[in-house]
Structure 1
Amino acid sequence: MSFGPPPSMYTQSALAAETDEKNRRRKWLLGVLVVVLVAALGTGGWLLWGGGGAGSTTSGKPLATGQGPLDVRETVEKKPASATGKMAFRFSVDDLSPGEEYRMPGMWATDKILAKGINKTVIGLRIGTDAVPGDEKWKLPLGGPICGYTRHVTNDNRTAVLYRANDRGGAYCNHVAFFDLDDGREVWSTDFPYSRFGDAKGLATGGEDQDTPSVTLVHGTVVVTWGGGTDAYSMKTGERIWETTSTGSCQDMGAAGGGALLVRQQCWHDGAALGSTDATTYKARKVDPKTGKVLWTYSAAKGIRDLNIPSAEPPVLAVQAGEIGISEMLSLNADGKTRAVIRLQNGTYVGECSFDDFLTTDDCPTIAVGDDQVFLRSKDSGELINSNWVIGFDLATGHTTKKFDSGPGSLLYPVRMSGDKLLAVRVTDQHVMPSGLVSLDPKAATETPYLYFDLPDEADLMTMTDYNDIVVQDGRIFFGVKKVDGPAKGRPKWVYLVLGIESMAVKQST
């Protein structure tokens, strides 16, 4: 196995044994692109589609107005010179053995690097390569497995992960590392407190009983919640600049960053009937990222089963009132009061937030907030031919605004805002039509194609947001798995880990 024996990844012995084989397999993508495309035209693999164009693409370099290097990145993507897509990057393995399993939390991209968390290591791979384990431009080894991450990245291409104290079973998740995505350099790392599961504060008696910590970024600050409180660290120095303590029966369980800081609190009520939904309630608190001062607190109604925060600025909450899925979106005003309630009408509209073991309160991959609207997708309609639509809701009134139909045979999924435009992925059925990255303009109600492409058959499931990361950055779209499993039995397994698409107009560097 290329990854080496779990839980440690990329052991020297494994890499040394495979160096010669990797050298034979390593190829520059451009050199094999023509061969791949010729085969694809007959087999339904990689296809080119859409109108041609000359010149090089313009990538997502522009920043939101007033942003600096320590702000969370809000880049604005521009329409490529050509909407014809080509493979920009591939990361795969071909020797997964039966029973092997690797967690791959976190994926981030810059203009030159695709970074991926894998077990107890973060790796950086140069975009423009057909990569396998061993092709890393850099590796950041951690003291233990990654146990928390944030999708946020600063304008100077830095982000943070949490990791366990060591790689033994039950080790505490109590370390945070802030690192540079371009070169893999650890800017700083430190440990933070931990608390036991439940409504009592104090040290955990074992790793399985530990409250799940979380990490997020806001201007100049890395923020960690750990159950018993919240700690904030300077991005520049790693110095702890403030801390808060959970009070009473409420604990800090997750935080949303970006343009502001909202801390999610979970509260327990001993007097409630056993199994009652009233036993647990939720709050969202706006906190000054410079001082830790609580600016306001929003208390969710009793009976709410879960609360996520798709956007901290403007503040938008996603709440679950029933047994399954998000039932309502709530927009709040500058004082933390309810501004509008958007009901998802028993699943007519769909909002999805991360539900894995990592506490990423603001990771809601198909909910996009911007231009004073929240954008959701509808449920799939049609039996033989799928279709859906993306629809906007006004944050001031809760009323619907613009609706974008996918058309028959395809599905639209919101990805993120790009200025005042919404970027969405169009996924088509059976490779009959190309899939694509499109820009939706809420003001003009128009759709502009950015990239047309077709994923290989083996990568069809990588468009599923529940099990994969989808990142759009610098004119490219990346699909990356969150976990990889070996085959149940039989021969070693070959599998894609990350695929990247860019415009055909991009010139390859030499």
Structure 2
Amino acid sequence: MSFGPPPSIYTHSALEADRSRARRRRRVLGAAAAVSAVVCLGAGVLWYDSAGHEKRRTDTTQARQAPDAIRETVEKTPVSPEGQVVVQHNEPNLTGKQQRLAPGTWATGKILARAVANHIEGYRIEPDPDWDAKAWTLTLDGHVCATSRDVTADGRTAIVVQPARAKSSGKNGVCDEVIMVDLDTGKKLWQQTMPSAGSAYVTNTDIALTQGVVAIAWREGSVAYAMDGGKRLWNTTVATSRCPDTGFAGGRALLALVTCGEGDNTTYRVAKLDPRTGRTVWQYPVSKGVNSVWLPSADPPVIAIQAGDYTVTDLISLDSKTGEQLTRIPMTKYKPDCSIDMYFGVVAKCYGMVVGRDRVFVMSKDNDDITKPENQITAFDLKKGTAVAKFQGRPFQPVLPLRTNGDDLIIYRSTLDDVRPAAVVDWNPQTGKETPYLLFHLPDEYGRLSNPDDSDILYEQGHAFFARRELERDDVHPKDPVLSVIGVGSAGLKH
């Protein structure tokens, strides 16, 4: 299976580069004029709490993590929320109608990395970067098959690759190569061939990282490797298990989605595994009649289910020690989406929802009344299932939960307004306080960048990144490079 043509060397005239830099400065830095007006606007927060209850403070300190722990950064409030471009890359040489797919985006404090087709590229994060400030390129043996959002505390991640093979080999399209990458340097740290993975394809291969372990599943088997050195720790096949692992969720723990049967007879269970041995710690049987199951969080364990609909219908939180169900939260009025991608490792990738230590933050469905806020984010208690706080969007300014920040939530508020800028804000659900982190305008012609259906949207170490997952040629200007990613940082943040 092919995911588009391999990249070729990028050439672009200095004149066009200067023009593009001028355009992006005008659009992004143009938000400065609106900063004072925006900061004075209402926070749009509704907060529910019992009178007299002591309010827990948000933890703004961060314990030093082990190098192979999955990164959990706590963000600092920038000196100024005024935005400036810190990364921009345009993908060259797109031909015909074929898409070039970009299934992975990761950021460190220094580098924004993108997996595109059969390579990974790293771009330097710096104020007003030179045109296409590429730091490194890692060429792979074939196209990327599966990626994880997990990044270690010292800036590593792992991917699964589909090595290029002749059709006569009988293994054309098989995704059986796992690679560990240092995102700051672009160095390949180790590479292994997955055992008995002849049925691993882009449509069924899933990868997760946790506690010094890289785990991969492909429905007919699974395997785990040590992050340090790539030693194989354990593996399973259909010969050893009639109910194979479909996929994993990583982070602080390792959850497996276990699938039994096929078609209408399919049943699911969720298992917490010991990452080093693969041993089952506990299991939770999902009710029969469920069409699909996803794992948006391993710790605290939260599962999303599709029961008789085309979207997520319920969220279920489990006890992290026993696997017993704590609560079930109906999603009738909400819009978490776990089925945008049909490949590249999807079991743990859900948009429009973020799981915190004891809260889950979920984006609502859009409001049809254009005079009212576009949508809202609701925080639910994971033990009781009750709504405990709400953050309102604004008319023509929908809000999207991005990630937790200690006990706070980082939110992206997009805009269709030429005056009011888009914003990244920190929201404390305990106090209702909204703190602006970044204020900016994205270029008009790149509206899809703000849509989580089309783009990866990240905020990491003071920078917001918008990265298209599918890159297509512009038919009007077929020879022009196409914007792949743009990053915004604070004009007042020292780099």
In the superposition, the TM-score normalised over structure 2's length comes to 0.86
Using the TM superposition, give the Cα deviation of residue 152 of structure 1 relative to its aligned residue in structure 2, in angstroms: 0.6
1:413 is the counterpart of 2:406: no
1:395-414 to 2 correspondences below 5 Å = 395-414=382-401
* Closer/same/farther in 2, CA of residues 163 and 93 from structure 1, 3 Å limit: closer
From 335, 350, 355, the counterpart of 1:350: 335
| SS of aligned partner of 1:298 | strand
Match of 2:310 in 1: 324
| SS of aligned partner of 1:430 | coil
In 2: Cα distance, 1:423 partner to 1:167 partner: 43
Match of 1:142 in 2: 140
Match of 1:65 in 2: 63
Instruction: Kindly provide the amino acid, as one letter, of the partner of residue 359 in structure 1.
Output: G
Using the TM superposition, give the Cα deviation of residue 342 of structure 1 relative to its aligned residue in structure 2, in angstroms: 0.3
Match of 1:156 in 2: 154
Match of 1:199 in 2: none
From 470, 484, 487, the counterpart of 1:500: 487
Match of 2:187 in 1: 185
Using the TM superposition, give the Cα deviation of residue 45 of structure 1 relative to its aligned residue in structure 2, in angstroms: 8.8
| SS of aligned partner of 2:447 | helix
Match of 1:231 in 2: 223
Match of 2:420 in 1: 433
* Closer/same/farther in 2, CA of residues 303 and 6 from structure 1, 3 Å limit: closer
From 439, 444, 448, the counterpart of 2:435: 448
* Closer/same/farther in 2, CA of residues 314 and 161 from structure 1, 3 Å limit: same
Instruction: Kindly provide the amino acid, as one letter, of the partner of residue 252 in structure 2.
Output: G
In 2: Cα distance, 1:461 partner to 1:46 partner: 20
Q: How many residues align?
A: 461
Task: Verify the 8 A CA contact 1:194 1:211 in the aligned structure 2.
Answer: no
1:297 is the counterpart of 2:283: yes
Cα-Cα RMSD? 2.6
Task: Verify the 8 A CA contact 2:300 2:357 in the aligned structure 1.
Answer: no
In 2: Cα distance, 1:130 partner to 1:373 partner: 38
In 1: Cα distance, 2:254 partner to 2:220 partner: 18
Task: Verify the 8 A CA contact 1:373 1:394 in the aligned structure 2.
Answer: yes
Using the TM superposition, give the Cα deviation of residue 85 of structure 1 relative to its aligned residue in structure 2, in angstroms: 1.3
Match of 1:336 in 2: 323
Task: Verify the 8 A CA contact 1:145 1:167 in the aligned structure 2.
Answer: no
Using the TM superposition, give the Cα deviation of residue 447 of structure 1 relative to its aligned residue in structure 2, in angstroms: 1.5
Task: Verify the 8 A CA contact 2:410 2:424 in the aligned structure 1.
Answer: yes
Match of 1:174 in 2: 176
In 2: Cα distance, 1:459 partner to 1:28 partner: 17
* Closer/same/farther in 2, CA of residues 457 and 173 from structure 1, 3 Å limit: same
Match of 2:244 in 1: 251
In 1: Cα distance, 2:179 partner to 2:71 partner: 18
Task: Verify the 8 A CA contact 1:194 1:226 in the aligned structure 2.
Answer: no
From 349, 363, 367, the counterpart of 2:353: 367
5+ residue gaps, structure 1: 53-61, 196-202, 270-274
Using the TM superposition, give the Cα deviation of residue 24 of structure 1 relative to its aligned residue in structure 2, in angstroms: 5.9
Task: Verify the 8 A CA contact 1:215 1:225 in the aligned structure 2.
Answer: yes
* Closer/same/farther in 2, CA of residues 163 and 505 from structure 1, 3 Å limit: same
Moved more, 244-253 or 314-323: 244-253
Task: Verify the 8 A CA contact 2:29 2:82 in the aligned structure 1.
Answer: no
In 2: Cα distance, 1:240 partner to 1:88 partner: 39
Match of 2:210 in 1: 218
5+ residue gaps, structure 2: 38-59
1:241 is the counterpart of 2:226: no
Using the TM superposition, give the Cα deviation of residue 322 of structure 1 relative to its aligned residue in structure 2, in angstroms: 2.1
1:310 is the counterpart of 2:296: yes
* Closer/same/farther in 2, CA of residues 159 and 248 from structure 1, 3 Å limit: closer
Task: Verify the 8 A CA contact 1:91 1:131 in the aligned structure 2.
Answer: no
Task: Verify the 8 A CA contact 2:80 2:491 in the aligned structure 1.
Answer: yes
Using the TM superposition, give the Cα deviation of residue 36 of structure 1 relative to its aligned residue in structure 2, in angstroms: 5.1
1:89 is the counterpart of 2:75: no
| SS of aligned partner of 2:176 | strand
* Closer/same/farther in 2, CA of residues 95 and 248 from structure 1, 3 Å limit: closer
Task: Verify the 8 A CA contact 1:263 1:284 in the aligned structure 2.
Answer: yes
| SS of aligned partner of 1:350 | coil
Task: Verify the 8 A CA contact 1:173 1:213 in the aligned structure 2.
Answer: yes
Match of 1:267 in 2: 260
Task: Verify the 8 A CA contact 1:90 1:500 in the aligned structure 2.
Answer: yes
| SS of aligned partner of 2:448 | helix
In 2: Cα distance, 1:260 partner to 1:188 partner: 23
In 2: Cα distance, 1:407 partner to 1:223 partner: 41
Match of 1:200 in 2: none
Overall identity of the aligned pairs, in %: 33
Task: Verify the 8 A CA contact 2:253 2:298 in the aligned structure 1.
Answer: yes
Deviations 1:347-374 (A, max 9, x none): x111112532222311113211113010
Match of 2:444 in 1: 457
In 2: Cα distance, 1:167 partner to 1:51 partner: 58
Task: Verify the 8 A CA contact 1:63 1:74 in the aligned structure 2.
Answer: no
Instruction: Kindly provide the amino acid, as one letter, of the partner of residue 350 in structure 1.
Output: K
Deviations 1:253-291 (A, max 9, x none): 11000000001122215xxxxx64xx2121111001122
* Closer/same/farther in 2, CA of residues 106 and 481 from structure 1, 3 Å limit: same
Match of 1:58 in 2: none
* Closer/same/farther in 2, CA of residues 338 and 131 from structure 1, 3 Å limit: farther
In 1: Cα distance, 2:349 partner to 2:460 partner: 17
From 269, 272, 284, the counterpart of 2:270: 284
* Closer/same/farther in 2, CA of residues 428 and 211 from structure 1, 3 Å limit: closer
In 1: Cα distance, 2:143 partner to 2:224 partner: 22
1:23-172 to 2 correspondences below 5 Å = 37=25, 39-40=26-27, 46-48=30-32, 49-51=34-36, 64-65=62-63, 67-93=65-91, 96-128=94-126, 130=129, 135-166=133-164, 170-172=172-174
* Closer/same/farther in 2, CA of residues 192 and 131 from structure 1, 3 Å limit: farther
In 2: Cα distance, 1:410 partner to 1:371 partner: 28
In 1: Cα distance, 2:183 partner to 2:91 partner: 22
* Closer/same/farther in 2, CA of residues 332 and 150 from structure 1, 3 Å limit: same
Task: Verify the 8 A CA contact 1:26 1:130 in the aligned structure 2.
Answer: no
Using the TM superposition, give the Cα deviation of residue 132 of structure 1 relative to its aligned residue in structure 2, in angstroms: 6.1
Using the TM superposition, give the Cα deviation of residue 494 of structure 1 relative to its aligned residue in structure 2, in angstroms: 4.5
1:392 is the counterpart of 2:379: yes
* Closer/same/farther in 2, CA of residues 231 and 343 from structure 1, 3 Å limit: same
Task: Verify the 8 A CA contact 2:104 2:115 in the aligned structure 1.
Answer: yes
* Closer/same/farther in 2, CA of residues 94 and 221 from structure 1, 3 Å limit: closer
Using the TM superposition, give the Cα deviation of residue 431 of structure 1 relative to its aligned residue in structure 2, in angstroms: 2.6
* Closer/same/farther in 2, CA of residues 126 and 291 from structure 1, 3 Å limit: same
Moved more, 89-98 or 329-338: 89-98
